[in-house]
């Protein structure tokens, strides 16, 4: 049975997609089988792994029930993925049935066509809202992983997500647990330290852990995303194949990512 994680935060730009892609690639490098699910109509995760999301089956068809989860899977060098595009935004208005919050859970765990038995990890990248797509992801998941930025508004916004988490736990998925809070895009400033402490207080209130590893801001992630590669393959090809110089800051960033993947796996083993 897969361990299913929803990476969610209604705040935009806090690195939900980047964390999903990097974690998936890192887990795959460690020998795990990983499926990612692009639950964000922006389709950025699909783009970042060069998945085909225009003429192929996507999350929209899976949620509508016209295609099974298995049929929508694409294989990429970074991870397997069920892609998404802008059409997915419409699903929030198109699902009317009672129990619509359970749709993704049922699709993934269906005995005949579900894929929850087939992967070590399933990572769901959520949109920046607390609407039906995020509720579906939280209802399908075993764990909520919260990427957040070292920024005051981002830290305080986590409490809104916590309210949604509590509702999901109450009504549709009592077994849901918080995996942890991951601080991303950090800068070496005094205010980062203060926000880190604020985030720890908020996490404490939710009964959640904050990952020891924090992910610094570094341009190498944008470079990797621009050529649709994961950061591990990108830095390797830059240094070895192309013989280009890689800065110490970029190496440190990749080490952050590796440490995060390790901590994630250790934590999951403990849970």
Ligand X SMILES: Nc1ncnc2c1ncn2[C@@H]1O[C@H](COP(=O)(O)OP(=O)(O)OP(=O)(O)O)[C@@H](O)[C@H]1O
The residue ranges that bind ligand X (CB under 6 A) are: 12-18, 40, 42, 44, 128, 184-185, 215, 217-218, 221-222, 225
Task: Decide whether 20 or 139 has the Cβ nearer to ligand X.
Answer: 20
> CA-to-CA distance for 219 and 153, rounded, in angstroms?
23
Distance of alpha carbon 130 from alpha carbon 128, whole angstroms: 7
How many CA atoms does the CB half-sphere of 47 hold within 13 Å? 14
Angle at 73 between CA 69 and CA 74, to 5 degrees: 170
Residue closer to ligand X (CB basis): 170 or 262: 262
Work out how close the CB of 99 gets to ligand X at its nearest, in angstroms, rounded to a whole number. Answer: 26
Q: CB of residue 216 vs ligand X: minimum separation in angstroms?
A: 6
Cβ-based nearer residue to ligand X, 63 or 215: 215
Minimum CB separation of residue 15 from ligand X in Å reads 4
Backbone angles phi, psi at 5, to 5 degrees: -120, 130
- Of the pair 116, 122, the CB lying nearest ligand X is at 122
Choose among 138, 122, 101, 102: nearest CA to 35: 122
Q: How far is the CB of 111 from ligand X (least distance, A)?
A: 32
**How far apart, in whole angstroms, are the C-alpha atoms of residue 103 and residue 95?**
9
Burial 97-127 (b: 16+ CB within 10 A, else e): eeebbbbbbebbbeeeebbbeebbbbbbbbb
> Is 9 in contact with 148 (CB distance < 8 Å)?
yes
Nearest to ligand X of 23, 208 (CB atom): 23
For 269, the token pair is 């083993």
Closest among 106, 163, 114, 162 to 139, alpha carbons compared: 106
Provide the minimum distance between the beta carbon of 173 and ligand X in the complex, in angstroms, as a whole number: 22
Residues in CB range of 7: below 8 A, 6 or more apart: 16, 19, 20, 23, 123, 124, 125, 126, 145, 146, 147
Smallest separation, CB 245 to ligand X (Å)? 19
Q: Minimum CB separation from ligand X for residue 234, in Å?
A: 12
Q: Closest CB to ligand X among 40 and 142?
A: 40
**Residue with Cβ nearer ligand X (9 or 116):** 9
């Amino acid at each position: 049975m897969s361990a299913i994680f929803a990476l969610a935060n209604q705040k935009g730009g806090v690195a939900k997609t980047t964390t999903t892609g990097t974690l998936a690639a890192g887990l795959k490098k460690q020998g795990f089988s990983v499926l990612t699910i692009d639950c964000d109509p922006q389709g950025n995760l699909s783009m970042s792994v060069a998945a085909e999301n225009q003429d192929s089956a996507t999350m929209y068809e899976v949620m509508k029930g016209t295609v099974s989860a298995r049929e929508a899977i694409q294989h990429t060098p970074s991870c397997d993925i069920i892609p998404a595009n802008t059409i997915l935004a419409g699903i929030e208005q198109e699902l009317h049935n009672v129990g619509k919050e359970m749709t993704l859970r049922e699709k993934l765990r269906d005995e005949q066509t579900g894929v929850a038995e087939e992967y070590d990890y399933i990572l769901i990248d959520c949109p920046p809202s607390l609407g039906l797509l995020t509720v579906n992801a939280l209802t399908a998941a075993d764990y909520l992983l919260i990427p957040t930025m070292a920024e005051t508004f981002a830290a305080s916004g986590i409490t809104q997500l916590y309210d949604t988490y509590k509702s999901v736990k109450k009504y549709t998925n009592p077994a849901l647990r918080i995996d942890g809070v991951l601080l991303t895009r950090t800068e070496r400033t005094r205010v980062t330290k203060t926000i880190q402490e604020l985030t720890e207080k908020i996490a404490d209130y939710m009964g959640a852990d904050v990952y020891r590893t924090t992910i610094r801001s570094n341009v190498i992630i944008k470079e990797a995303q621009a050529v649709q590669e994961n950061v591990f393959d990108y830095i390797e090809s830059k240094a070895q194949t192309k013989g280009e110089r890689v800065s110490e800051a970029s190496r440190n960033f990749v080490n952050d990512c590796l440490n995060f993947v390790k901590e994630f796996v250790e934590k999951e083993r403990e849970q």
